[in-house]
Amino acid sequence: MIMKILKELWKSRIAAVLHQLSAEIGPVILEIPPRPEMGDFAFPMFTYAKVLKKAPVQIASLLVSQLNTPEAAAEGPYINIRLNREESAPLILSRIFDPAFCRPEPLAGSKYMVEFSSPNTNKPLHLGHLRNDVLGESLSRILAACGAEVRKVCIINDRGIHICKSMLAYQEQGAGQTPESTGKKSDHFVGDFYVLFNRLYQQELEKLQGTGLTEKEAEARSTVLNRAQEMLRKWEAGDPETVELWKKMNQWTISGMKETYSRTGISFDHYYFESQTYLTGKDEILRGLEQGIFYRADDGSVWVDLTGENLDKKALLRKDGTSLYITQDIGTAIFRHRDWNFDRLVYVVGSEQQYHFKVLFSVLQKLGFSWAEDLYHLSYGMVNLPDGKMKSREGTVVDADDLIDSLAADALQEIHSKDREDAVGDSAITAEKIALGALHYYLLQFSPAKDMLFDPKESLSFTGNTGPYLQYMGARISSMIRKAGSAAESGSGVHLTGDAEWELLKSLSSYPQVLTDAAQSLDPSRIATYLHELSQLFSRFYHDCPVLTADDPAVVRDRFALSSAALRILQDALSLICVPFLEIM
């Protein structure tokens, strides 16, 4: 990190001069000037006025005279540093081509487990899952790029009342159909029965409420819901017929989901299944009950009192002894730590579950698990559409496969409209990559905590802050590099002294720090923001600094080398945010 070294060098030089004037000088503050023409670094003198009993403008002028170098200039109350570009540019350029440059190791020796996706086996993946998936996958890649050992895990929510709703609807109205007999993708097939159950349930509630019952009374009298609850009890009791139906429908859903994961470049090192972990959680709750950590209510349910932690009282087991979500998550966390002794476990889960995770972490600490302090909830906002929020039980959810199909179809149409079929090779494959680039970049460009509005048309734009714009920039540089051949990396860098060249070079040099910041803040949007800024700087460089037509062959070689360095960083950063790189568009 040459720029980082230069920053520290100049901070030391400024500090040395200040300490000659007074031993009471505090830390030296370095800022980046708001405009490139103001220099590379700036040191404000305001904080030293009281100690030195001089105006900041006087202090700046005094220090510059003592530094006695053309790189330092007093500009009002600031000392602005303009690095010697002929000396610095070759050092920075050579560092970028170092194989280790793109892989800083601030997290070396640490073990991160990242949980993401967490699908239910009663419906296919939807747009909300896509944001979850790309956040988890991108974060895992960023952590690994910074030296961490990363284990990506997925919890399959394959049990519970929601699963039984799909099972009941299929059992009573499926008529022996299969995904094969209907020609439907298997997870979509199961999801249709979940929607069917809720339609039947709502129809029954309306009839009951029509007789004068309140909504709560109608829910208690619902035969459809009671049958689903009875199915859950049968499953937990190991009823052979219920278990067999459960296995069949879960297999259909999981098979379909894995197709979508493969399509979107999402992978996992290990799958956990709630059906295998919930009993561990149940045993732990009963252990805590025996030890007086928890208490049993009058109706037989088991609770924890977390009012001392500014939370609330929380049920851990139902009155009939069946598990709740919190019970299952307790068991799953314990399983994971036994399997892989992580330093940190990051849960990538929506912001609506913030309270749930506060309770989960507190309960695990009460049970005596010291590693509960290493659990972290990476909360992300909702993904909404121009026409409102998604509701899967009503069948209005935006299905992941359908969305990608639609984006790919629009990208293919764009390829055809520009007569690029022959240039791009397989048009369908290229269109799919453009669709994934558009989708993943759009979902990652916002800070995870923010709610967002997904606009498919805007995401596919080839101009502005979009994935296709970045892909186009990569293809543009690739085309130029192909023309240069081996000359693309043969420049010394000594001629990269123009403002556009220098600003691009500085941006490239900051990449390891951007990676480090993204990893430490668990925020892939920092990579997305950096990529857009980098592409804008390259556009300015390409406009202001002719590469192919420069008169001096040495300048041509340096500019090709700078372009090759930009391509290297662009490719690497795109891979970290799950945007496919395209050499030709």
The domains located in the chain, with CATH, are 2-83 (3.30.1360.70), 116-394 (3.40.50.620), 414-576 (1.10.730.10)
Residue closest to 38 by CA, chosen among 88, 81, 86, 4? 81
Query: Residue 388: what are its φ and ψ, rounded to 5°?
Result: 120, -175
Is the CB of residue 444 less than 8 Å from the CB of residue 264?
Answer: no
Phi-psi region of 425 (alpha: psi -120 to 50; beta: other; left: phi over 0): left
The CA radius of gyration of the chain, in Å to the nearest whole number, is 30
Report how far residue 29's alpha carbon sits from residue 15's, in angstroms, rounded to the nearest whole number: 10
Is the CB of residue 167 less than 8 Å from the CB of residue 245?
Answer: yes
Name the strand (E) or helix (H) holding 506: helix 499-509
Report how far residue 574's alpha carbon sits from residue 67's, in angstroms, rounded to the nearest whole number: 42
Report how far residue 121's alpha carbon sits from residue 252's, in angstroms, rounded to the nearest whole number: 9
Residue closest to 118 by CA, chosen among 388, 367, 346? 346
Q: pTM for this one?
A: 0.91
Report how far residue 541's alpha carbon sits from residue 502's, in angstroms, rounded to the nearest whole number: 9
User: Which stretches of the chain score pLDDT less than 50?
Assistant: 389-395
Report how far residue 381's alpha carbon sits from residue 354's, in angstroms, rounded to the nearest whole number: 11
Per-residue pLDDT tens over the stretch 479-524? 998 887 765 567 899 999 999 999 999 999 999 999 999 999 999 9
Report how far residue 574's alpha carbon sits from residue 569's, in angstroms, rounded to the nearest whole number: 8
CA torsion sign for 487, 490, 494, 496 is positive
pLDDT value for 37: 86
Report how far residue 429's alpha carbon sits from residue 28's, in angstroms, rounded to the nearest whole number: 53
Query: Residue 297: how many CB atoms within 10 A of its CB?
Result: 12
How far, in Å, are 32, 181, 284, 290, 471 from residue 531 at the CA level?
A: 19, 47, 47, 55, 11
Is the CB of residue 257 less than 8 Å from the CB of residue 190?
Answer: no
Report how far residue 460's alpha carbon sits from residue 442's, in angstroms, rounded to the nearest whole number: 9
Residue closest to 580 by CA, chosen among 461, 464, 468? 468
pLDDT value for 491: 84
pLDDT value for 393: 43
Give the position of tokens 């220090």. Answer: 63
pLDDT value for 1: 66
pLDDT value for 392: 44
SS (H, E, C) 569-582: HHHHHHHHCCCCCC
SS (H, E, C) 161-229: HHHHHHHHHHHHHCCCCCHHHHCCCHHHHHHHHHHHHHHHHHHHHHHHHHCCCCHHHHHHHCHHHHHHH
Q: Extract long-range pairs of 519-524: CB within 8 Å, 24+ residues apart.
A: 519/106, 519/107, 519/142, 519/143, 519/145, 519/146, 519/148, 520/106, 522/139, 522/346, 522/376, 522/378, 522/448, 523/447, 523/448, 524/135, 524/138, 524/139, 524/142, 524/444, 524/448, 524/576, 524/577
SS3 422: helix
pLDDT value for 320: 86
